[in-house]
Amino acid sequence: MRADQLASVWKRILAYIIDIFIVNSIITRPFNKLMENAIPKKITSFLSLAENFDWKTLIIISLVSGVITILYWAVLEFKIQQTLGSLLLNIKVKSESKKLQFSQLLLRNITKISFVVLLLDSIPVLYSAKKQRYTEKLSKTITVENEK
Amino acid sequence: MKNKFKTIIIVIILLWLISFFSARLMKNFLEEGVVSNGIAIIPIEGTIMIGEGDGIFEKTISVNKIVEDLERANSNPGIKAVILEINSGGGGVVATREIVKAVKQVKKPVIALIREVGASGAYWIASATDWIIADEMSITGSIGVYSSYLEFSGLLQNYNVTYERLIAGEFKDIGVPYRKLTNEEKNMMQRKLDLIHELFIKEIAENRNLSKEKVTKLADGFFYLGIEAKENGLIDELGGRGEAIAKAEQLGKLKDGNVIVYKEKPSLLDYLNKLQNKAFYSMGRGIGVSLTETENKLEIIA
């Protein structure tokens, strides 16, 4: 049995860009107006900036839209092992051990709740043998080329 | 491949629907909490203006904020009635009329509660509501229009300063404070003010279901105390917030209404204004006391 070829970093980055575009422009778009309302329309001074942000609203919206973002990846990878971005770049997710479980996919995608957290999670991709993020190592999943 | 695309589209649509309904649910919850039997109190405090004022020496309120609050209350199914809590001496004509229009578009009972002052444009807004309540000593009425300003031509002349008039359009510089108005110009301005005054009277008469003649008699620009306004039909009831809430419950057909005040969070500038106002008040008081107080003391001078 031929070993799976690991997906290149650039393909993975491009796939992520396509997916995050879909998530931001379509899926979480209904939250945009709420976000706008949480940000003051008139900033009287930089000192008032922190006071006039509706922090409660911003945190709640970020959490809810973050969960929906994670579900985009987790549900699609569970159903077809691919998202739209990975389908277009011909890569897919695989479990290292058993059959792919939904809990593995939730864990591997949990850092997509925030770009900064995802960036930190992705550091090992640059040096690890299997090009895995921290959460991919924890969830025992890898991203490979989709052999036809 | 086709099946995969189909799955992706279905998941995207489902997730979008979850987002849509979550956002709707969150909108009401975050802004007012989960409300039922709600009575929204919208404060109208300060001079009514179209844009945001500087707020340094004068408290102002923007039309946009009030109209947004009215629309919010109107669209929230948990809000059953609205109280406009008014403490304003009026403001710009266009600004006032925009609020009047927004009040009339609210499909729920709207009650006006006049606190210290609800005069001129602020009274115009109150008249558009379903019921007006004011304290016996509240200041209201002042159904009139003014456009007065300081004219400095005499002062400039004393300092040998001349106003060089360069215009295209005969009346372009009408109202400029560096020259006197001509009689013709005064008459033209007066006609404009009379037009606005007539419209003001007409709308008050319609809103309050009073005859135009009666309102014209009352519309000499003078203010009325709450007790006088009740007698002449400009308001409906004497009272305060308690009475306003009771009326909102009656007209909104609710029992034990939940009161939600649509208050703007004060910014650092608001706090600084408050401190500044206190400081200026103290300064003024100190100067006044030192000018007016006399000291009587016996002195022996060698």
Say whether pLDDT at B258 is over 90: no
Chain A residue numbers with beta carbons less than 8 Å from the beta carbon of B22 are 30-31, 64, 68
The neighbour count for residue A5, using CB atoms within 10 Å, is 11
Structure-block tokens of residue B178: 């560096």
Give residue B136's pLDDT band: very low, low, confident or very high (50, 70, 90). very high
Q: Mark yes or no for CB contact B30/A31 under 8 Å.
A: no
CA-based nearest distance B283→chain A, Å:
27
Q: pLDDT (tens digit, 9 = 90+) per residue, B209-248?
A: 999 999 999 999 999 999 999 999 999 999 999 999 999 9
Chain A residue numbers with beta carbons less than 8 Å from the beta carbon of B26 are 34, 60-61, 64
What would the mean pLDDT of A85-111 be, rounded to a whole number?
92
Residue in A closest to B3 by C-alpha: A80
**Residue B298, pLDDT score:** 63
Determine the Cα–Cα distance for residues B60 and B55; give it in Å rounded to an integer: 6
Q: Which helix (H) or strand (E) holds B120?
A: none
Residue in A closest to B24 by C-alpha: A30
CA-based nearest distance B229→chain A, Å:
38
- Asked whether the beta carbons of B49 and B64 are under 8 A apart, the reply is no
Say whether pLDDT at A1 is over 50: no
Mean pLDDT of chain B: 87
What would the mean pLDDT of B106-115 be, rounded to a whole number?
96
Q: pLDDT (tens digit, 9 = 90+) per residue, B142-185?
A: 999 888 889 899 999 899 999 998 889 988 999 889 999 999 99
Rounded to an integer, what is the distance from CA B82 to the centroid of its chain? 16
Q: Mark yes or no for CB contact A26/B16 under 8 Å.
A: yes
Among partner residues B4, B15, B27, which is closest to A71 by beta-carbon distance?
B15
**Residue A13, pLDDT score:** 93
Chain B residue numbers with beta carbons less than 8 Å from the beta carbon of A52 are 265, 267
Using left for φ > 0, alpha for ψ between -120 and 50, and beta otherwise, residue B46 falls in: left
**Helices within chain B (DSSP H only):** 2-32, 63-75, 93-104, 121-127, 153-158, 183-208, 212-218, 226-231, 241-251, 268-292
Predicted ipTM of the assembly: 0.87
Q: Mark yes or no for CB contact A56/B265 under 8 Å.
A: no
Phi, psi values for residue B141, rounded to 5°: 80, -125
Among partner residues A34, A48, A76, which is closest to B23 by beta-carbon distance?
A34
Q: pLDDT (tens digit, 9 = 90+) per residue, A20-66?
A: 999 999 998 988 877 766 655 554 445 545 545 556 777 888 889 99
Q: Which of B6, B101, B104, B172 is catalytic?
A: B172
Determine the Cα–Cα distance for residues B112 and B134; give it in Å rounded to an integer: 8
Give residue B7's pLDDT band: very low, low, confident or very high (50, 70, 90). very high
Q: pLDDT (tens digit, 9 = 90+) per residue, A72-82?
A: 999 999 999 99
Mutate to test the interface with B, among A64, A73, A83 (most CBs of B within 10 A): A64
**Residue A37, pLDDT score:** 62
Chain B residue numbers with beta carbons less than 8 Å from the beta carbon of A72 are 11-12, 15
Is B15 part of the contact surface with chain A (CB cutoff 8 Å)? yes
CA-based nearest distance B49→chain A, Å:
16
Q: Which of B88, B108, B120, B142 is catalytic?
A: B120
**Residue B265, pLDDT score:** 60
- Does residue B120 have an active-site annotation? yes
**Residue B209, pLDDT score:** 93
Q: Mark yes or no for CB contact A87/B5 under 8 Å.
A: yes
Chain B residue numbers with beta carbons less than 8 Å from the beta carbon of A29 are 16, 19
Closest C-alpha to B144, from B93, B88, B212: B93
Q: Give the contacts of B251 (CB within 8 A, at least 6 positions apart).
A: B81, B109, B111, B130, B131
3-state secondary structure B49-94: ECCCCCCCCCCEEEHHHHHHHHHHHHHCCCEEEEEEEEEECCECHH
Q: Mark yes or no for CB contact B18/A61 under 8 Å.
A: no
Q: Of B15-29, B88-102, B153-167, B266-280, which range is least confident?
A: B266-280
C-alpha dist (Å) from residue B147 to B48, B93, B194, B197, B220: 16, 11, 11, 12, 15
**Residue B85, pLDDT score:** 96
Q: Mark yes or no for CB contact A27/B8 under 8 Å.
A: no
**Residue B103, pLDDT score:** 96
